[in-house]
Amino acid sequence: MVSNSAKKVFILGLTQSGRAFRPSDWAERLAGVMSPFRPGGAHPGSHLMYSPWCIPTTFDGVRCVVVHPDLRDYDVMAWDFCMNFAKDNELQLSIGPPAHKPA
């Protein structure tokens, strides 16, 4: 799926067929679940901030989550959770920022 030497992975809110993924707040939900996975581990109040390793954002008007490879080094099961979320929901992945507006 994604090589161990990968840079940041962009999980795009578009299915393989090009349809927008729903619900519209999926990126915030995924990043919220991943909030405890952070440098130094979870601490009081860390659930109120996104992890720097899993950040929701928008690219060319498409919701996405940027997953940093340090997450894999910290907890491979957390990394697998994100990658399997994309696979299970047939979402498009991009290694690094997408080169053009997603199709």
Question: What is 9-95's CATH superfamily?
Answer: Uncharacterised protein PF12112 family, DUF3579 (3.30.70.2340)
Return the closest-CA partner of residue 82 out of 18, 15, 4, 27. 27
The domains of the chain are located at 9-95
Q: Read off the tokens for 38.
A: 């952070």
Tally Cβ neighbours within 10 Å of residue 84. 12
- Burial of residue 55 (number of CB atoms within 10 Å: 0-12, 13-18, 19+): middle
> pLDDT (tens digit, 9 = 90+) per residue, 7-41?
899 999 999 999 999 999 999 999 999 999 988 77
What is the model's pTM? Answer: 0.84
Q: What are the strands, taking DSSP E only, across 16-103?
A: 54-59, 62-67, 91-95
